[in-house]
Amino acid sequence: LMRSAVRERHETPRGQLHVSCVTAFGNECLAPAVPEFVRRFPQLEVSIDLGNRLVDLIGEHFDVAIRVGPLNDSSLIAQRIFTQRIVFVATPQ
């Protein structure tokens, strides 16, 4: 019984998740996924800060930041979560 309680406590996400995300990706990809995410993890309170400014993850108490492009020289760790192909199109005129 005690093992089960401890395991559940560590396996079930709970608490607050503070996310910083660039505006375009947040609006197009993250926002549509949030309702299902919070439904799956009801004990997790999610706050999302959309904007293109660089945030101080530690100083501003963010848990994760989603950015587009390479990570500049940093002590942070980047993980690719999405690849998007950009195609430019135009009419012959």
CATH number at residue 5: 3.40.190.10
Dihedral sign of CA atoms 8, 9, 15, 18 in order: negative
Quick one: pLDDT at residue 9?
A: 64
Q: Which two tokens stand for residue 62?
A: 């963010």
Rounded to 5°, the CA angle 24-30-35 comes to 140
Q: Which two tokens stand for residue 79?
A: 């993980």
- Kindly tell me if the per-residue pLDDT of 60 is higher than 80: yes
Higher per-residue pLDDT: 40 or 71: 40
Quick one: pLDDT at residue 46?
A: 94
Tens of pLDDT along 2-50?
666 656 666 788 899 999 999 998 999 899 999 999 999 999 999 999 9
Structural domain range at position 60: 1-93
Higher per-residue pLDDT: 62 or 72: 62
Question: Per the structure, how many domains does the chain have?
Answer: 1
